A and B are shown apart, each in its own frame.
Chain A
């Protein structure tokens, strides 16, 4: 079979990885801020494909919905609100480019050597083919984890400092949701249109 001759996991990984990195680099070298926003959408969307390939289907869907659907729409609104012709395309001085590319290149070299240095990371899971697709459904486990119950850890050795099975993420979840609410109220307050100061000098 021709189809079986391909390693589809690797091929799809290469496809999405090239899209992600390619659009990120295209974003870096584009001067036009509207094009940059578009390339960013494509890059983040392709990285959602990488999440799906790693078996994190819920996080991949959230990436598409929150990031691509929410955050980037917000960014594009920002671009539209500030879109005067002299701000659409701003050139960076070549000296800054050289400096940033040299520093960034050395940082990239450092990270790449580090990524291939650890032997445990270099070879993939040899039993990956044995993991059924049904085992990788993580949505329920994530939901339970957010309510404080780790259903994937029920048989783990008990930690005496924790209530058994209750080592989930309930408190961080509550904190982050309140944080999000506060931040959004604050952002709406800060970005509102201010009324002009009245003649009496009192700013409304």
Chain B
């Protein structure tokens, strides 16, 4: 057999971990508010990948079953809601301050 040894949950966890970490770094370093938002999307997608992997019967004999897929669907819907609200906040911030740089939002700084 050419290719890696049979795909297991661990391989999916690796991809999910990479997405999570890249998203977290993205949230921490990007100065554009929309870049921070994109980091959040990556983090949610990494978590989703783990749910799918644990729910897949191709990867585990005793899997979560349908629960994993249902929770992944809920996460997708909540991510859409979160993106809509965060985008509205970002646009409001842009309208009021004429900037999208999150470092400029320092009015509550003590």
Binding site for B on A (CB under 8 A): 5-7, 9-11, 13-14, 17, 20-21, 24-25, 27-28, 33, 36-37, 40, 43-44, 47, 50-51, 53-56, 58-59, 62-63, 66-67, 70-72, 74-75, 77-79, 81-82, 87, 90-92, 96-97, 99-101, 103-105, 107-108, 111-112, 114-116, 118, 120-128, 131, 135-136, 138, 141-142, 145-146, 150, 152-153, 169, 172, 176-177, 179-180, 183-184, 186-188, 190-191, 194
Contacts and interface: CB of A to CB of B under 8 A. Distances in A.
Contact of A50 (B29, B34, B49, B55): B49
Contacts of A54: 12, 52-53, 55-56, 58-59
B105 interface: no
Interface residues of B, number: 76
Contacts, number: 275
Interface of B: 1-15, 17-26, 28-32, 34-35, 37-38, 41-42, 45, 48-49, 52-53, 55-61, 65-66, 68-70, 72-74, 76-81, 83-85, 87-92, 94-95, 99-101
A28 B59 contact: no
A112 B57 contact: no
Nearest to B92: A190
